[in-house]
Chains A and B, each alone.
Chain A
Amino acid sequence: MADKLTRREMIRALTTGGLFTAGSMTPLAALFAQQLGPAVRGPQPPEPALPKAPATLIDGKVVQPVRELPVLRKTRILVVGGGPAGTAAALAAQRQGVEVTMVERYGHLGGLATGGLVLAIFPIYNRDGKQVIRGIGEEMMQRLDKLKFGIVDRNKPPLYPVVDAEAFKYVLADMTLQSGMHAYLNCWGVDAIIDDSGAVRGAVFESKSGRQAILADIVIDASGDGDIYAAAGAAFTKVKDNIGLVSRMGNMDEVDMTGGAEAEHASTEPVRKRPTHGAPVTQLDGKLGSQTPAPRVNWLNMKGPVADGLDVAELTSLELKHRIALWQNLEKVRQKPGHEDAFLLETAPQMGVRLTRLLDGVQILTEDMMKNGTTFKDVIGYSGAFANVAEFQIPYGALVPKKTENVLVAGRCIAADFAVANITRLIPVCWVTGEAAGIAATLCVQDQCTPRNVDIAKLQNILRQTGVYLG
C-alpha cells in the first residue's frame, strides 16, 4: 500500500506544474524531477520560519509594510506570460543559447490559443494565399500535424487551420521541456522590479509559494495586459473591447467549411429575404459554431459585450453570466430534433479578453500604416491579410517602450492603435512579435545593450535564419 502511494507521489512530482507525463521521458524532465526530490506523504518537518510581514490595518487603511522578497531565480531573460507570444519568445531565446525563465499565470501553456479556445490560427496568409507567418509558429503547427485530431485545414487557404486545444497544450509542454528553459506555472506576475534609473530588472510573482522575485537582464512582457510595463511606469493607452467566453460543444452537426472562407454555407435555405429592423433573430441548432479537429465537436465563439478586462468585478460578473448563458443556449440546442444529446464539452478556462493596454512604443503602428502597407527598416515580421486589409509589416519599434529600459513587449499589448491591435492581438501575429522579442532579448544579453539599441540587421538576419518571413 505504502509502496503504491509512493509511486503515485512520484508521478505527481513528475507532472508538477501541469507538465505532461509524456515529457518525462526526456532527460530534461528528469532534471526537473530531480530538483523536486523524493516526497514523503503525510506531515512534513517544520520549515525554517521566514519573517512574516502581513498587511496591517492602520487607521482604517490597509498598509503593506516594506519587506524583502525571496529571489526565486536570477536569469538572463525573463518572459512573463506563457501564451502564444510568451512561448514563442521563450523558445526562440532559449534556442539562441541564452538562459530563459518563463512564468505563466495558468496551469497550462498556450494562453488564449489553448485556454481561451481561440482555436483558429488566423491570419497567416497574404492576399495571394501565401503563408507569411512562419518561424516558430509554423514549427508548432508541424508538430500538431503529427497528432491525430491535432489540427485541421492546414495549407488550404483561404481556410485557416483549426487546432485542438489539448493537443496544443501537449505540444507546448513538450517543446518547453525539451528546450531546457526554466518554466513556472500557476505563477502570476504582479509587479515590475526597477532600479534607480527606472530600468526593469525583473518581476515579482504571486504563487502558492507566496510573493517571490525573479531577477533578469531583460524582461519580455508577454502578459497580454502589459502588466509588467504598466507597473514599471511605461506609458500606454487603456482600451476596452468585447469580452466573451468560447466553448466547445459535442454531438453537433459537422459544419462544412470546405468551400473556403469565401463560400461558407451558414444558411440552410438560400433565400434572400428582407431582414427586419429591431432585435436580432437567430437560430440555435446543431449547426452552431464551426468545426474542430475532433469529430462532432464544434467550437462556439462568443464575442461578448464590451467590458474592462482589468476590472476584477466586471470580469467576475461576465464570466458567471457567460457560463449561465452558454448552458441555457445548450438547452435550446437540445430542443431541436436530432440534437437531444448535444453536450457542453468545456467552457474556456480563460475568458476571451481581447485588448486592455496598448503600449506607447518607439513606433506606434497605426491604421494608416496598416492600410497603406507602410514598410519599415526595422521590420520583424508580417501579419497576414485580414478581411479587406492586406498583409502588413510589424516594426521592431512597436515592441520597445518609448522610455522604459530593459523591457521588450510581445503579444496583444504591443504599440499599435486600436484598429491595428484588432489584428496584432491574434494568435499567429502574437507568435511573430513573440519570436522577434525573444531573439532581440538574446542580442541585448549577448551584445550587452538595451532593447532600443539592438543591431536591427543582426536581428533580422537571425529571424530569417529561423524561417521568419520578412518580405
Chain B
Amino acid sequence: MNKRRWQSVLIRLLCLTAALVLIWPLTPWDNAPRAVVETSPLVAICASIINRAIGFTAGIGIVFGMLSILKKRWFCRFICPTGLVLEGIVHIGLKRTSWWSRWPPLGQYAAALTLVGALIGYPVLLWLDPMAIFGSPFAIPVAGDLLSGLLAGSVLGILLPLTLLLGGVWCGRLCPLGGFQDQLAALKPIIAGGLRTFRIWVTAPPRRPGKISRSRRAVLASLFGFGLGLWGRNSGLARAASEDAPLRPPGALPEEHFAGVCIRCGNCTAACPARIIRPDITGKTGIAGLLAPTIRYDSKEYCREDCNLCTQVCPSGALQALDLATKQRYIIGEALVDTSICLLTLGKKECDACVVACPYKAIAISWDENQYISYPAVDPGKCNGCGACEIACPTNPVRAISVWSLLPDTSTAGSVVAAPRFLSG
C-alpha cells in the first residue's frame, strides 16, 4: 500500500470517528447530528431548495458539492463514513462478482429524480443518501421496540449483506450521492469548455447502440421524480385529510410534504429525551410514510416544554429548527376529550389529572348547564398537543383525553411549503 493510500485511509478514519462523535452525540452542540448529515451535498442542496434558505451547515455541504466538480467523487474517497464501512466489508466479502458494473448509473438517476422531487417539495429518494443511512442506526436503541428499531436501521442492514455478496455495487452504481457527484463532475468540462462542450454533453452518443441516450434517461428520471413527488404529495394530502393522521414532531412540515422531505436519518428519534419520537412501522401512513417519525404518547412521557432538541438535529428541513419559545407554540396536534368515558363527567371520581398535568394551563374544568355535567375543556388557543394530559389520564385502555392531528386548514393546504401551524402570542 502506498503512502497516498495510507493518507486517504487515515483521513477517512478520522471522518468516521468525527461522524460517530457528532451523531452520538458526544459533543455539547445540539445540532451536531444535523451537521453530519448536511455535509452531504445532495442533502444540503435538497434541504436548501425545500427550506428556501441555506443554513451554515448546508453551506458546507454545498461547498463540498462544488469541490466535487473539480475532483470527481472526492467526497466518497475522503469523507463518506458509510462508504468506508462498506469498503471494509468489500474486502472481506465475495469480491469477484462485478457483473453489475454493466448496470446503468442508477445512482445518477436517483439523484436527478430526487432533485426534481425537491423542487416540488418531495425529494423522493433522499432517504438513500449515505449520510442519512449512516445516522439511522443511532435511533435503534430509542425506537421503542425491537421491530421499529430494526426497521429504523434497515437500509444499512440491507446494504451490509448486499455488499458482502456483490462487492461495491452500492458506491459504484446505486448511491444517489455518488451519482450526484458524477453529475457534478460532468459539469467540469462545460464550465471549462463552454457551450460547445455542453452541447456534446447533452447529445452525447449512446454508449451502446439501441439504448436510449444518457440525457434522455436523465430527463426520464426527472419526469419520474416529478411523478413520484406528486404521488407522494397526494398520498400525504390524503393522510393529512384523515381524522387520525400521524402526529409529527415539533417543527414538522405539513403532512403532505413531511414524509417526503424526511430522509429517515433517525436524528430526531435519537435526540428525543422523552423517547416519544418513533419511526412509523404501522403502515397506516402507506409506503410513502414508512419509517417517518411519529409522536406516540403511549409511554409515561410527553413532549417536554423545556426541550426543542428534535428541531435542532433535522438535516433535511422536514423538522424546521425552532427556538424553545417557538417550539412551545408549534401545534403538534389538538387534545380532544371523549366525555363519554371521562371519569369526571361520569361522576366516578373527582379527577382533574389532565388539568393538573397541562404545562400550559390549557385545560380547565367546565360546566355544562344543559346536561348538568362537568368536563375538561381544552383551550385550543393554548394547547400545542404536547400530550401531558393524555399520559396523565387514568382511563384505560382508551384515554378520555388524547391528542389528535389537526384537521387540514383549507386555507394553507396545497401550497408547496405551507406554513406549519403555531399558537398565536
Interface residues of A (CB under 8 A from B): 120, 242, 244, 255, 259, 261-267, 270-277, 279-283, 287-290, 300-306, 325, 328-329, 386-389, 422
Contacts and interface: CB of A to CB of B under 8 A. Distances in A.
Contact of A270 (B339, B373, B398): B398
Query: Which residue, B344, B392, B398, has most C-beta atoms of chain A within 10 A?
Result: B398
Given A266-B400, A275-B339, A388-B356, A305 B367 contact: yes
B243 interface: yes
B337 A303 contact: no
B348 A290 contact: yes
A264 B394 contact: yes
Q: Is the interface of B mostly helix, strand, loop or mixed?
A: loop
B341 interface: yes
Interface of B: 243-244, 336-350, 352-353, 356-357, 365, 367-375, 392, 394-398, 400, 402, 404
Contacts of B347: 288-290, 300-302
Nearest to A257: B348
Contacts of B343: 264, 266
B394 A262 contact: yes
Given A259-B396, A302-B374, A388-B353, 11 more contacts: A242-B365, A263-B394, A265-B396, A266-B343, A266-B346, A266-B400, A267-B341, A277-B336, A279-B368, A280-B375, A288-B348
Contacts of B346: 266, 282, 287-289
B340 A325 contact: no
10 closest residue pairs by CB, A with B: A303-B374, A280-B339, A325-B372, A305-B367, A300-B347, A275-B336, A267-B341, A280-B375, A387-B356, A275-B338
14 contacts: A242-B367, A265-B396, A272-B398, A280-B345, A282-B339, A282-B373, A283-B340, A301-B349, A304-B367, A304-B374, A305-B369, A387-B357, A387-B392, A388-B356
A325 B373 CA distance: 10
Query: Which residue, B244, B395, B404, has most C-beta atoms of chain A within 10 A?
Result: B395
Contacts of A265: 395-396
Given A266-B395, A288-B347, A279 B352 contact: no
B397 A242 contact: no
Q: Is the interface of A mostly helix, strand, loop or mixed?
A: loop
B16 to A, nearest CB: 44
Nearest to B364: A306
Contacts of B367: 242, 303-306
Contacts of A282: 339-340, 342, 345-346, 371, 373, 375
A280 B348 contact: no
Contact of A388 (B337, B344, B357, B402): B357
Query: Which residue, B342, B350, B367, B375, has most C-beta atoms of chain A within 10 A?
Result: B350
B353 A387 contact: yes
Query: Which residue, A120, A267, A290, has most C-beta atoms of chain B within 10 A?
Result: A267
Given A242-B365, A305-B367, A387-B356, A281 B348 contact: no
